[in-house]
Structure 1
Amino acid sequence: MKKNKIGVIIIAAGYSSRMDGFKPLLKFGNQTAVERVVATYQQAGVDQIILVLGHRADEISPYVKNKPLDLVINEKFAEGMYTSIVKGITQLDESINAFFIHPVDIPLVKPETVKYLIDASDKTCKGVIYPCFFGERGHPPLIHKKYQNLILENKMDGGLKRLLAVYEEDAFNLPLIDEAILMDMDTRSDYETLLAYNAMRAPNLCECYATWDKFKLPENIRSHCAKVKQTAMGLATQLTEKGLKLDLSALRAAALLHDLAKTEKNHAHKGGELLREMGYPTVGDIIADHMDIVMEPDQAVTESEILYLADKFVKNDQLMDLETRKIQMLEFYKDNPIASEKIAKRYLNAELILQKIKRMIE
């Protein structure tokens, strides 16, 4: 439970001079960038949202009309972003204990990331918490209120980054599984990259590998997951070539992360829960099915069925045919009739899935 009151200062005051388009109003699905960032902090449950506008403020303000936020105009926006930060800080409620600084051109940070940062602020005694992805700091930093006056009175060149660097001993780097903290949109190419990222309902490859690191997955499990991913994507490629529509990014992530909770009881369901908590319900559902699955013999092959089958094909990090694996498993559990019954059912389902796939691709 959040102990401190948290605010955010969203900066959307600049010219967008390097972008072919006005950054705050670039679209991500049905939302503009500014709406997306505001919604992120609403979903994360922050206590005060301050939106600082400047250039073309009259065009942005209708998009946030009736939103639960404080709208402020920075008349000095042409002098640089630091003036917008200062303007936003002057609007913070006295009850706010810490605040985020979030430029609108980093629009796809996840609500879960904001929540993790808030949680870290409750647990650490550090004054500045930086979100990090593979060791690189991104946005938004979470800054304790003790820095408010320092920021307001700062006369150094170099902006907020240089000021906070003076207090590096009071900083904490929080590793996160969210590459969007590093993804800004200075150029049209950046925007197109963000659009592709936004279209995914799954962590990308780098985020999957960061997840391995966060959960300290042993090398043998990583190798197994990598081979299952290769096998699953090979099956999926053959199926898509025959016209089947599949969520390949979700399947890839589920294959790489299916044994995330391998050491825990009911690891498939636990792994699914972990991915749902991270904001990926589709991936979580696929993972939850990889040990036991409800077959739909008359329906098209699903991502869950592909992962289920690929996992049965791979022992450790080596491919093996289903019959051989089934015989080995039954031999190992021959003195456990309950386990043997489950194994027989699992491999029957795997064979049924394989038959479904063969009917499609042959």
Structure 2
Amino acid sequence: MGRSKTLIEIRGCPAVRRVARAALDAGCAGCVVVVRAEEGDRVEALISDLPAVRVLVNRKSEAGRTGSLQCGLGSLPEGAAGAIIHPIDHPLVSRDTIRALLEEHDRCFKECPSPPPLESIPLVFEPAHECARGHPLLFGRDAFPALMALKSAEPLRSVVRRLRASGRAREVEVDDRWILANLDTRADLRRWGLDRE
């Protein structure tokens, strides 16, 4: 797009701030933003007023998205029940969508017997709109080892596919087309009618 997707303004708000606000407004206990070294100060300035948001610099930027994912997961408190992985190129996902993922995750645990049989608990929750799956994804803590074991060239979807194949993925239907909007290029902005806003 000619500039960092993290910093680009979407509907008058920097993408990184929009994503962080949606997470907090949905009820997330905190938000970890992982950035490249050259973006750290600018991102910090954009979200420093938001509570419970931390900016981490990915020192292994050569590992790409996988490195960023693992940097963020590695910073979570030991007792974290799960994590929402929200790519910056989906900045218009609503807080209601994120809340729906959180609520479905919580509901699954409440309805399970105690202690629940491990194989019965979904480990990834995927939002779906009109039968198409999108982002962000919520991973339960028992999925963290598989995520941390990803190699730098291995995409996140490889873990998701394995969880689907083992029956440990749950779709959450949402009324939010923006889960499907991967705003990666200027052409994507035009496709979704955002180049005129």
Alignment TM-score, normalising by the size of structure 2: 0.84
1:61 aligns with 2:12: no
Alignment of 1:35-54 (within 5 A): 35-54=17-36
SS at match of 1:93: coil
In the other structure, the counterpart of 2:139 is 143
| Higher helix fraction (1 or 2) | 1
TM-superposed deviation, 1:104: 0.9
Number of equivalent positions: 181
In the other structure, the counterpart of 1:73 is 57
Please tell me whether Structure 1 or Structure 2 has the larger radius of gyration of its CA atoms.
1
TM-superposed deviation, 1:20: 2.6
Task: Check the 8 A contact 2:122/2:168 in 1, yes or no.
Answer: yes
Alignment of 1:194-273 (within 5 A): 194=192, 196=194
In the other structure, the counterpart of 2:10 is 28
Q: Which structure 2 residue ranges, 5 or more long, are not aligned?
A: 109-120
Q: 2:24 is aligned with what amino acid?
A: Q
2:163 aligned residue (162, 167, 187): 167
Task: Check the 8 A contact 2:93/2:176 in 1, yes or no.
Answer: yes
The 2-side partners of 1:174 and 1:42 are apart by 20
In the other structure, the counterpart of 1:190 is 188
Q: 1:185 is aligned with what amino acid?
A: L
Q: Once the two structures are superposed, what CA deviation does each residue of 1:147-167 show, in whole Å capped at 9, x if it has no partner?
A: 112211234853211123122
The 1-side partners of 2:193 and 2:6 are apart by 14
TM-superposed deviation, 1:178: 0.5
1:177 aligns with 2:161: no
Q: 1:148 is aligned with what amino acid?
A: F
Q: Percent identity, aligned pairs only?
A: 25
TM-superposed deviation, 1:70: 1.6
Q: Please list every run of at least 4 consecutive aligned residues from structure 1 whose deviation after the TM superposition is greater than 6 angstroms.
A: none
Alignment TM-score, normalising by the size of structure 1: 0.47
SS at match of 1:50: strand
Q: 2:181 is aligned with what amino acid?
A: M
Q: Which has the higher contact order (CA 8 A, sep 6+)?
A: 2
| Higher strand fraction (1 or 2) | 2
In the other structure, the counterpart of 2:123 is 127
Q: Once the two structures are superposed, what CA deviation does each residue of 1:14-45 show, in whole Å capped at 9, x if it has no partner?
A: xxxxx233211111233111111011011111
Taking only aligned residues, the RMSD between alpha carbons, in angstroms, comes to 2.1
Are the structure 2 counterparts of residues 140 and 197 from structure 1 closer, same or farther at C-alpha, using a change threshold of 3 Å? farther
Q: 1:39 is aligned with what amino acid?
A: R
SS at match of 1:131: strand
TM-superposed deviation, 1:198: 10
